Amino acid sequence: MIDLHTHTLFSDGELIPSELAWRLEHMTYEAVAITDHADSSTMDFIIPRIIKVASELNQVYALRVIPGIELTHIPPKLIGPMVQRARKLGAQIVVIHGESIVEPVAPGTNLAGLKAGADIIAHPGFITRDEASLAADKGVYLELTARSGHSLTNGHVARMAQEAGAKLLLNSDAHAPGDLMEKGFAEKVADGAGLPEGSLDNLLSNARELVEKLGYLP
């Protein structure tokens, strides 16, 4: 299993990074990205600290811990520069907090994240067919999520991605220990999105592809 969207006490999660990583190591996960919520006021604080703890944990765990960030409720016009800044600070995975239907995310956030070349558009809500096509063209991954509320549009996201040829992956958006997914539950989330039986393997393969590109798995 691989999860590329999780949170710790550096934003609104319940666990310190070490406990989050240990729980997933115990669950025999291959990799996790720690992607705490951030804007320009907190990026400089969060990313270096995640890099530090990831470096330490990667020396002792089989689990690969990847430093990332989730740019959250950023005005669309500022997303491009923020993605560049996050990468300069060392974020290996940049997630955009997409246009979930359960939060007042600014319209245009999905498109701005795609144009900026983020790695993942999280819970992108009613993403359009054209946006999904752009994701396919730019190699940006679209997220199916296990997160309550955000998951309400998983079926729509899956359909748009399939029609456009965009790549999907499945993340927990974990904020607490109970959010971490065992494989059986992940399969149910994939099935609930209307994907064919056995699609979890493809979702995990897409996640693994991204982690391999970053050099964290062989």
pLDDT, position 96: 99
Q: Please indicate, yes or no, if residue 101 is contained in any of the structural domains.
A: yes
Report the alpha-carbon distance of residue 89 to residue 111 in Å, rounded.
Answer: 23
Report the alpha-carbon distance of residue 44 to residue 40 in Å, rounded.
Answer: 8
- Phi, psi torsion values for 214, nearest 5 degrees: -85, -10
Q: Please indicate, yes or no, if residue 218 is contained in any of the structural domains.
A: no
Check: CB of residue 20 under 8 Å from CB of residue 13.
yes
> For residue 208, what are the domain limits?
2-213
Read off the pLDDT of residues 139-197 as tens digits, 9 standing for 90 and up: 999 999 999 999 999 999 999 999 999 999 999 999 999 999 999 999 999 999 999 99
Q: Give, rounded to a whole angstrom, the gap between the first and last alpha carbons of the chain.
A: 15
Q: Please indicate, yes or no, if residue 19 is contained in any of the structural domains.
A: yes
Count of all residues that appear for the chain in the document: 218
pLDDT, position 171: 98
Q: What is the CATH number of the domain that holds 91?
A: 3.20.20.140
pLDDT, position 204: 98
Q: Please indicate, yes or no, if residue 173 is contained in any of the structural domains.
A: yes
Over residues 25-38, the mean pLDDT reads: 98
Neighbours of 44 (CB within 10 A): 11
Cα 28 off chain centre by:
19
Check: CB of residue 45 under 8 Å from CB of residue 13.
no
Which 8-state DSSP code applies to residue 174?
B
pLDDT, position 104: 98
Domain count across the chain: 1
Q: Please indicate, yes or no, if residue 106 is contained in any of the structural domains.
A: yes
Q: Please indicate, yes or no, if residue 194 is contained in any of the structural domains.
A: yes
pLDDT, position 1: 98
Read off the pLDDT of residues 67-106 as tens digits, 9 standing for 90 and up: 999 999 999 999 999 999 999 999 999 999 999 999 999 9
pLDDT, position 75: 98
Closest CA to 119 of 98, 134, 140, 138: 140
pTM: 0.97
Read off the pLDDT of residues 195-209 as tens digits, 9 standing for 90 and up: 999 999 999 999 999
